[in-house]
Amino acid sequence: MSKTTMTRRGVLKTGAVAGAGVALPTIFTASSAAAYTNEPTGGTVTLGFNVPQTGPYADEGLDELRAQELAVQHLNGEGDGGMLNTFSSKALKGNGILGKKVTFVTGDTQTKSDAARASAKSMIEKDGAIMINGGSSSGVAIAVQGLCQDAGVIFMAGLTHSNDTTGKDKKANGFRHFFNGYMSGAALAPVLANAYGKDRNAYHLTADYTWGWTQQESIQAATEAMGWNTVNNVLTPLASTDFSSYIAPVLNSGADVLVLNHYGGNMVNSLTNAIQFGLRDKVVNGKNFEIVVPLYSELMAAGAGENVQGVIGSMNWNWQLQDEGSKAFVKSFGEKYGRPPSNSAHTCYVQTLLYADACERAGTFNPCGVVEALEGFEFDGLGNGPTLYRADDHQCFKDVLVMRGKDNPTNEYDTLEILEVTPRAQVEYAPDHPMFAGGELGSCNAGA
């Protein structure tokens, strides 16, 4: 008997029909009668929230979990509804998804790809999760996205900023609402040129994994295009906690700007070390020494404290935005948790709603129906203005924020200010842009 797998275009038979010796992945078990992996049969539907609960990005993961729980409550008609009230799509009614109450399970990625895959696999196989959402590392996101493609479930990426997630490692079952390294470079370069001039020498410290590599490539290309010179790029292990040995050589390099392609606890530690070495008090090449953090988050800024004052970086979203969707989310989150949400929290909340909305519009939980509902989907009311989920690569396009550390913060959540809202058109790029080359989106996989 030949094996079958669902694709967007129907049923593809393997074995004798498609060629002798061809075999499908057998990691995931599902009823042969099921139309797709983990098809809900009772009154509930289970979502899997896979976030770093330990490791260098644990603070981000905790905030993602807060937002995911809030999203589930709003989907089930609990609380004030949050962004369901401002979302341009009106398919969600607060009665679950397709009439089924939403439940969820969680996993700890540990900011490690193997651990993330193991926890996602467990949620799919043992808990019946039909969608996986989360992550605060591009290495994790890419690993889990590949697993979900093979499993036949949808992956709604959380915080993942590497170009590769929707570049060479893109998958039909995966979608990214977060922006990427190219967008950061496109938004930051003009602001940096205006603030610091076009004659600058930059020294990069870069997290040694997919996000760091593509972030550094993006910011280097964008700044060199406006006249900056790149003095050096030094890779640092993700597990590093003390960056003193990496900071010391900067002093004798001739650089007058340090670019920290670090995130989470890594950025807090490397920025702290840079300040301890007195870099921001230096005058090099007749210019005040400056530090740039290409990817910011509120949690990182709070962790770094006064060290972020005046430091410029980019963000996907910020709680200070005044559009109706952002205000609704900040109000809901603040009333539940007593604090404003981070941009990682916003991303996971929005991705959970977008998945649920796609199911409603498609009239099915079948991943192939969800893919079709999301591809080319344009919407508003979820923050950052009008947004497009591009069909070519499943990347979202929307406005990008350029932030600066506040000189006189009033509290631990008031550490950053919005310097500029970069319009979507400035950060868009062609699907075949060289930084996103390689890989194929392929066809959706419904699994069973």
Q: 313: helix, coil or strand?
A: strand
Per-residue pLDDT of the chain (448 residues; tens, 9 = 90+): 333 333 333 333 222 222 333 333 333 333 334 589 999 999 999 999 999 999 888 888 999 999 999 999 999 999 999 999 999 999 999 999 999 999 999 999 998 999 999 999 999 999 999 999 998 789 999 999 999 999 999 999 999 999 999 999 999 999 999 999 999 999 999 999 999 999 999 999 999 999 999 999 999 999 999 999 999 999 999 888 999 999 999 999 999 999 999 988 899 999 999 999 999 999 999 999 999 999 998 888 988 989 999 999 999 999 999 999 999 999 999 999 999 999 999 999 999 999 999 999 999 999 999 999 999 999 999 999 999 999 999 999 999 999 999 998 888 888 999 999 999 999 999 999 999 999 999 999 999 7
**CA gap 84, 66 in Å, rounded:** 17
- Based on its alpha-carbon atoms, the radius of gyration of the chain, rounded to whole angstroms, reads 22
Q: Are 243 and 269 in contact (CB under 8 A)?
A: yes
**CA gap 312, 147 in Å, rounded:** 36
**196 Ramachandran zone, left/alpha/beta (phi>0; psi -120 to 50):** alpha
| pLDDT for position 23 | 34
The H-assigned helical ranges of 173-259 are 181-196, 210-225, 244-247
Q: Are 102 and 44 in contact (CB under 8 A)?
A: yes
| pLDDT for position 28 | 38
| pLDDT for position 259 | 98
| pLDDT for position 265 | 86
| pLDDT for position 27 | 38
**CA gap 178, 158 in Å, rounded:** 7
DSSP designation for 342: P
| Beta carbons within 8 Å of 39's beta carbon, 6+ residues apart | 130, 365, 366, 448
For the chain, first and last CA: distance in Å?
15
| pLDDT for position 34 | 57
| pLDDT for position 398 | 97
Of the candidates 292, 266, 291, the residue with the CA atom closest to the CA atom of residue 281:
291
Count of CB atoms situated within 10 Å of the CB of 50: 32
The token duo for 161 is: 């900023």
| pLDDT for position 15 | 28
